[in-house]
Structure 1
Amino acid sequence: MKPFCFANDNIISSEKAILHPMDIGLIRGYGIFDFFRTAHHIPLFLSDYLDRFTRSAGKTHLTLDFNKEQLAQIIHELIRRNDLEFGGIRMVLTGGVSENHFSPTAGQFFIFCEALDFPAPSKYETGIKLLAVEHIRAIADIKTTNYAFPVWHSAIWKKEGAEDVLYHLNGQVSESSRSNIFVIKDRKIATPDKHILHGITRKRVLELAPQTEIRPISLKEVLSADELFITSTTKKVLPVTQIDGNTIGTGKPGPITQKLMQDFALMEKENFQKV
């Protein structure tokens, strides 16, 4: 964590940021967050992330006392104070300390700056493995702080040499624990339409590939795909070449995935150059 954060309506030393132990963000896991990256001191796709965070606050009945313009000003000042050329920014809004220890009330709002590590370059070259698991995230269209299931399950997937999981239920896939998924078959791209977080990287990939079908996708379809990849803030466009013990396509990142990786890198570059 970087030296300065935003807490208690001020930019303060990160060491002084505190949370009441009875906040339902802690005792009930009720809160929201969002996370985005900086490149050359520029917060990438900031408007999209702030829109999503604001929507999440409204949907979860949490009070956010700052508008989009105020949030942007705070974030730019934190980037300056922390000299965050390349890193991550995490916004957190908790459920607060309520009288019945259950209902949301006025919570705590934080913004932290962090160092950021991407997957190893070799994973983009060879692809990764996912473990298929029956699960759907609660209120999946909101980026809540409740990651109890994947945090618990991560010990299992690490033993299996996997990067993450692929959620599915009743034969239909939804997403990974922190990523969206795209399927390619016969050069046609598709991505799930339900029980997903509407990722910002997913949104950008849809702009790069507007012909993508947004529809239900079965696990069977995933396993027979020619190419597969996941998208997220911290993974960008990352090829998937194995699900459990099943090889996807040729077992190597495919040409359409590789082209989208290149196109997304160019889109990011154009984004920070325009600011």
Structure 2
Amino acid sequence: MKPFCFADGQIISTEKASIHPMDVGLIRGYGIFDFLRTVNFQPLFLEHYLDRFIASAEKTFIPLEYSRAELKAIIQELIEKNHLKEGGIRMVLSGGVSKNHFSPGKGKLFIFAETLLFPPMEKYEKGIKLLTLEYVRPIAEIKTTNYALPVWDSMRWKDAEAEDVLYHLNGMVSESSRSNFFIVKDGQISTPDSHILMGITRKHIMKLACKVLIRPISLAETLNADEAFITSTTKKLLPVTQIDDREIGNGKPGPVALDLLEKFKLLEKELCF
């Protein structure tokens, strides 16, 4: 965590940021957040992240008392004050304090600047393993702070040498705990159409790929895909080469995933350099 954050309506020392102990964000796990990266001191895809954050506040009935222009100004000031050339910006809006300690109240806005480490290069070169988990995130289209199940479940990932999970329900896959999911079969890229967060990296990967089918995807066809990969702010694009004990394709990162990763890196340079 970087030394300066936004809390209580001003830029303060991060270590002084605090939240009321009866905030429903704390006692009920109800709140929203979003996370974006800085590249060469530029907030990557900022407008799209603000679109989602503002929409999430409206959908969760948590008052957001800052305009888009004010949020942009705060983020820019934090980037400069923390000298955040390559890092992360985390916006958090708590559920607030309410009379019944249950309903949403007046949320408290925090914006943090963070050091960001990407997965080691080995994972991009060899691919990663996912573990299947029967689950669908509540109100999946909103980026809430409710990560209780995957945080609890993550204790088994290390022993299984897995990067993350792949959610599925009634035989249909949706997403990873912090990433969107894609498969490739006979050159055709597909991604799930429901019970997912509309990821910003997902959005730009789909533009780069041009032809992506957004449709229901079964776990059975996922296991028989030629390639699979996940996308997220903090991972960009990571090839998936194993799900549970099943190799995907030939067990190596495929050409479609690797090509899209290179195109995404070029897009970053075009936008931020």
Give TM-score, length-normalised by structure 1.
Answer: 0.98
Please report how far the alpha carbon of residue 158 of structure 1 lies from its aligned counterpart in structure 2 after TM superposition.
1.5
In the other structure, the counterpart of 2:7 is 7
1:121-270 pair list within 5 angstroms: 121-270=121-270
Q: Which amino acid in the other structure matches residue 89 of structure 1? A: I
Please report how far the alpha carbon of residue 15 of structure 1 lies from its aligned counterpart in structure 2 after TM superposition.
1.3
In the other structure, the counterpart of 1:51 is 51
Q: Which amino acid in the other structure matches residue 76 of structure 1? A: Q
In the other structure, the counterpart of 1:97 is 97
CA distance in 1, matches of 2:272, 2:240: 28
CA distance in 1, matches of 2:186, 2:64: 46
What secondary structure is seen at the aligned counterpart in 2 of 1:201? Answer: helix
Please report how far the alpha carbon of residue 107 of structure 1 lies from its aligned counterpart in structure 2 after TM superposition.
1.4
Q: Which amino acid in the other structure matches residue 27 of structure 2? A: I
Runs of at least 4 residues off by over 4 Å = none
Count how many residue pairs are aligned between Structure 1 and Structure 2.
273
What secondary structure is seen at the aligned counterpart in 1 of 2:98? Answer: coil
CA distance in 2, matches of 1:107, 1:234: 26
Partner deviation per Cα, 1:153-195 (whole Å, 9 max, x = no partner): 0001121110000000000000000000010000000000000
CA distance in 2, matches of 1:128, 1:226: 15
How high is the sequence identity, in percent, across the aligned residues? 64
Please report how far the alpha carbon of residue 258 of structure 1 lies from its aligned counterpart in structure 2 after TM superposition.
0.7
Q: Structure 2: which 5+ residue stretches go unaligned?
A: none
Q: Which amino acid in the other structure matches residue 269 of structure 1? A: K
Partner deviation per Cα, 1:218-239 (whole Å, 9 max, x = no partner): 0011000000000000010100
CA distance in 1, matches of 2:14, 2:60: 26
In the other structure, the counterpart of 2:114 is 114
Please report how far the alpha carbon of residue 16 of structure 1 lies from its aligned counterpart in structure 2 after TM superposition.
1.1
Q: Which amino acid in the other structure matches residue 188 of structure 2? A: K
Q: Structure 1: which 5+ residue stretches go unaligned?
A: none
What secondary structure is seen at the aligned counterpart in 2 of 1:159? Answer: coil
Please report how far the alpha carbon of residue 2 of structure 1 lies from its aligned counterpart in structure 2 after TM superposition.
0.7
Give TM-score, length-normalised by structure 2.
Answer: 0.99
Please report how far the alpha carbon of residue 210 of structure 1 lies from its aligned counterpart in structure 2 after TM superposition.
2.1
Partner deviation per Cα, 1:70-96 (whole Å, 9 max, x = no partner): 111110000000000111110000011
In the other structure, the counterpart of 1:86 is 86
What secondary structure is seen at the aligned counterpart in 1 of 2:238? Answer: strand
CA distance in 1, matches of 2:96, 2:71: 20
